[in-house]
Amino acid sequence: DGGITQSPKYLFRKEGQNVTLSCEQNLNHDAMYWYRQDPGQGLRLIYYSQIVNDFQKGDIAEGYSVSREKKESFPLTVTSAQKNPTAFYLCASSQQGARNQPQHFGDGTRLSIL
Amino acid sequence: AQTVTQSQPEMSVQEAETVTLSCTYDTSESNYYLFWYKQPPSRQMILVIRQEAYKQQNATENRFSVNFQKAAKSFSLKISDSQLGDTAMYFCAFIGPGTASKLTFGTGTRLQVTL
């Protein structure tokens, strides 16, 4: 079955440490997205990529970095510059340009500070 | 910039009853898409229903329907014959023009279906 796989499900970060969240999709979608979810704030866009080797900042990109070397992979790195990283992170994908088509979401990664 | 507002943080409904979740949005665009997503305790985001702004007819998916009022910028979700499995967070979301297909989400409504 096609879908989006996020790993790990739970992740812990020490002070000053960078951590990377994995997102892989086999839906052959061009566009991929990273969202952060905090209680009471809904989902906020961190970064998105419409095509391989290209990505754009979303609304809350500070303290995060991404890469898009392969169509099916869009890893998110939470750097030490992100002072409040504790949140639920969701990866999504969609057909490029197909705004009426829904984004497909992974099951998420919960990141906590040790 | 577009904004999406969900003014009901929590709602409760009895099984088999009908409930309506409200959503308003702010945009200067005329061509856009609206979605309702459901997030059960498992945290997976599931599409419930979608509406295209240029279509006047309200979208319907089984027990779920919307009341889309374009002039009022309102997009409410009606759940009929509520079931225990409908218990979840519900998010209203908006996609505007352009090719990036970026979703703007509301803050969500937590719906509890009770016996």
B16 touches chain A (CB under 8 A): no
User: For residue B71, what are its two tokens?
Assistant: 């002039």
Distance CA B82, CA A110 (A): 30
Distance CA B86, CA B66 (A): 16
A31 touches chain B (CB under 8 A): yes
Distance CA B64, CA A112 (A): 36
In chain A, which residues have their Cβ closer than 8 Å to the Cβ of B38? none
Q: Are A70 and A51 in contact (CB under 8 A)?
A: no
> Tens of pLDDT along A10-50?
999 888 899 999 999 999 999 999 999 998 778 999 999 99
Q: CA of B95: which chain A residue's CA is closest?
A: A99
The residues, any chain, with a CB within 8 Å of residue B8's CB and separated by 6 or more, are B21, B22, B109
> Tens of pLDDT along B13-63?
999 999 999 999 998 888 899 999 999 988 889 999 999 998 889 999 999
Residues 94-113 of A with CB under 8 A from B: 94, 96-100, 102-103, 105, 107-108
